[in-house]
Amino acid sequence: MIPVKGYSGQKVAVLGLGRSGLTTARALRAGGAEPVCWDDNPAARETAEGEGFVCADLRRQGAFEGVSALIVSPGIPHLYPEPNPVVAAAIEAGVPVDNDIGLFFRSFAGPEWDEFDTAPRVVAVTGSNGKSTTAALIHHILTESGRPSQLAGNIGRGVLDIEPGADGSVVVLELSSYQTELARALTPDIAVFTNLSPDHLDRHGGMGGYFAAKRRLFAEGGPDRAVIGVDEKEGAFLAGQMSEGAADDRVIRVSVTRKLTGPGWQVFARKGFLSEYRKGRQAGSIDLRPIKGLPGAHNHQNACAAYAACRALGLAPKAIEAALHSYPGLPHRSQIIAEAGGVTYVNDSKATNVDSAIKALSAFKRVRWICGGLEKEGGLAALNDAVGEVIKAYVIGREAAAFAMQLKVEAEVCTTMAAAVERAVAEAQEGETVLLAPAAASFDQYDSFERRGEDFVAEVTRRLAE
């Protein structure tokens, strides 16, 4: 655990008592603060009280008298579409609002670091798509290379639940826009921006607010090195803002759409080959095509970003290449779950928006596509430019018929996962891929994309066993 610094003897309010909220309360208490907790869910309050925490209704008049700060869990809105009433009350009372990420960055370093040969480093990864895979891949490469590493944030453990930094250790954080937009301290050693596509726009008041939330990771803390995907205009703009000139190698530009040139530091992938150039000369090359855990151009982008971050940490290209080949992939992200009768079954339940579904579709040939769910802003029109390899779509979700009508490909309304898998398995031929890439949120039928993916895996397993 990372004891929170700066609040010893002070009351600190904690709103939201899920995984991150309860961990935050423990870390505050470990640092000498007096947490005052609240969650609208009585069961969550009961759990906190069982650990000896004081729970008090932060919605009541005068709740913030004598409170030094309010720490908010990431799922709770503080501005758009409407601020949570407790957050609004804290702001009105002049109480600073922060989250566990901000507490981590202000508390992680300690005086014992003066005795280390190599100070601990923090790598923080954000972006719309691929940040989980990129963060997990960096962690995997470090571990395989013998560097002590911890994976935390939006993946793995909560940031305040990890072990204190050790000599030469690295903490790899995946950070969502919900986490970066509110943290009062953001000071990673290396910051990674994968890409940007529309998502969570209601929470951020539009695309500009969404990009601004991501940009804070770079603008607030000024990382020693910035790894930035430049295939979208926002990434190219961010790289330009962070750089002092074309030869400034504090910025490592990443692309999977073109060869990058110039005197700076670039990592790009073309036709399945990763290349690193520095000061106009090639410094490394890896054939990504045989790596099963990283199929498709979107995963090649993740590999480029992870490679760049690890190179910035001093790892050799050969060590990174060896670790890439042993990477198993993450559940629900282009996860090959079965191969039977010449048919490959792939679970990409994490493809919860149109852009991520397009990337999943582009990674495979001759696709029988299971899609549908709670449609997000922006519609599905962009999908129709990416369905060239789709033989047939099998549409799930409560609004499956309306979803199917927007697709310019043969589509069967199945509604349930069981029906979709049954039909896809029955019709799939040798050399084809049955792909779950919903292009939509799961909440019309499931409580998470993980649960949706698990249902897909269970149905495929059941059908193949028959």
- Helices (DSSP H) in 313-428: which residue ranges? 317-325, 354-362, 400-405, 417-427
Distance CA 36, CA 56 (A): 6
136 closest CA partner among 215, 211, 192, 210? 192
15 closest CA partner among 25, 7, 6, 29? 25
Is 129 assigned to a binding site?
yes
Within a 10 A sphere around the Cβ of 436, how many other Cβ atoms?
31
414, 347 Cβ separation under 8 angstroms? no
- Helices (DSSP H) in 51-99: which residue ranges? 85-92
- How many Cα atoms are found within 13 Å in the side-chain-facing hemisphere of 44? 17
Is 132 assigned to a binding site?
yes
Tokens describing residue 413: 């309304």
Within a 10 A sphere around the Cβ of 200, how many other Cβ atoms?
18
Distance CA 28, CA 6 (A): 10
Is 127 assigned to a binding site?
yes
Is 130 assigned to a binding site?
yes
**SS3 for 286-328, per residue?**
EECCCCCCCCHHHHHHHHHHHHHHHHHCCCCHHHHHHHHHCCC
Tokens describing residue 132: 């989980």
Is 133 assigned to a binding site?
yes
Instruction: List residues bridging with 369 in a β-sheet.
Output: 393, 435
262: helix, strand or coil: coil
Tell me the binding residues for ATP.
Answer: 127-133
